[in-house]
Amino acid sequence: MDIRQIRAFLAIADTGSVTRAAELLHVVQPAVSRQLKLLEDDVGAPLFERDRRGMQLTDAGHVLMERARRALRELDAARLEIRPIPGLISGNVSLGLLPSSCDLLAGPLIGVLQQQYPQIRVSLSVGYTDHLLRWLESGEIDAALLYDPSPSPGLNVEPLVGEVLSLVGPASLSLADDQPVSLHALGMAPLILPSAPHRLRSLVEHACAVAGVQVVIAAETNALSVQKALVTQGFGLSVMPRVAVHGEIERGLLSAARIDNPAFHRRIELALPTTRRTPAAVRCVIGALRTCVREIASGGNWLGASWIGDAAAAGHDVIPAE
């Protein structure tokens, strides 16, 4: 198995055709067919089936594709790190962001990186904390912002932002941050929450159980956009960071009030795996991300949040800056 076989295999998987794969790789078709045959002989299983739609991956092909993409990504990253453009830091960096704040951070972050590190290629993945943790462990992403990750020897974390969760409802309820609600407000109407075992779902259920508040779940969804849509349509209330519904509040669709209970205060932390070295390109990206988060939170544009990075850094070892 060599890199030419891997590239030929992935090109066929992406295009569904040996002919189009050859065009993509700028080689003749028999060369692509030969590389595929050698790879199938090596793994001892057919990787594609032919049908009227073209070349379709077999079960073995799907297994190999997932790992082959990861291996190729690592090889490309190593090549860029070993032979960077003179005077410029280059490389591929995959960064994980949270759904509630990705829209707030993506534009400023990419703007800084294009200006300061134009040779770094950045991939932004969006997911909840549990998903991002799995991607960090598997090597699919290099760093991520997480909500209150559990202590782990495999994770190096740095607190950046403290955030208060809000009760979110239709605009007609006139919820407002200067009128915080008690925990008992969560039991006054059906709730629309993420599916278990999502951490926010666990937080709500545990806090309410301790306080003796009975909650009714109207709907479960792991899509933030669906949560907001269902609340807008009047199917129930929800719990989420205020920043996640800033646009809907501005348009008069939703309203939000902070929940006056310590359990509904969370920290957003920057996390990197301790099991892998941190290349220069990754250090540059997390340095830029840290700066963007600090400026947005300190400037008051991250609603319901406050910058805590400097205070956290004063007494603890943190992720090294660039």
Tokens of 243: 């920043």
Are the beta carbons of 54 and 18 closer than 8 angstroms? no
The three-point CA angle 267-269-275 to 5° equals 145
User: Is there a domain that residue 322 lies in?
Assistant: no
Closest CA to 39 of 49, 30, 47, 31: 47
**Same-domain status, 209 and 234:** yes
Among 49, 82, 115, identify where a domain stops: 82
Spatial neighbors of 261 by CB under 8 A, at least 6 apart, are: 182, 183, 207, 211
* Stretch (H or E) spanning 157: strand 155-170
The separation between CA 7 and the C-alpha centre of its own chain, rounded to angstroms, equals 27
72 with 220, same domain? Answer: no
Q: 202 and 230 in one domain?
A: yes
Per the structure, the count of domains in the chain is 3
- Residue 109 counted as domain residue: yes
Among residues 84, 85, 126, the alpha carbon closest in space to that of 109 is found at 126
User: Looking at residue 58, which CATH number applies to its domain?
Assistant: 1.10.10.10
CA distances in angstroms from 105 to 53, 77, 92, 291, listed in the order given: 40, 24, 19, 11
Output the average pLDDT for the chain: 89
Residue type at 167 in one-letter notation: L
Could you tell me how far CA 103 lies from the centroid of its own chain? 12
Most confident of 2-6, 33-37, 138-142, 167-171: 167-171
Q: In this structure, what CATH number is given to the domain that contains residue 132? A: 3.40.190.10
DSSP letter (8 states) at residue 275: S
Could you read off the pLDDT of 29-40 as tens digits, one per residue? 999 999 999 999
Structure tokens at 217: 């779940």
| pLDDT band of 197, cuts 50, 70, 90 | confident
Same domain, 52 and 62: yes
Residue 228 pLDDT > 90 = yes
Asked, for residue 320, whether it belongs to a domain, the answer is no
What is the pLDDT, as a whole number, of residue 321? Answer: 44
Query: Do residues 157 and 288 both lie within one domain?
Result: yes
Confidence (pTM)? 0.70
Tokens of 168: 């979110």
Average pLDDT value for residue range 140-144: 94
Task: Quote the domain boundaries for residue 299.
Answer: 91-161+266-315
- Say if 321 falls within a structural domain: no
205 within some domain: yes
66-105 residue pLDDT tens: 888 888 877 876 776 666 555 568 888 999 999 999 999 9
Shared domain check, 183 and 48: no
Q: Residue 28 falls within a domain, yes or no?
A: yes
Residues 6+ apart with CB under 8 A from 44: none
Q: How many CB atoms sit inside 10 A of residue 308's CB?
A: 18
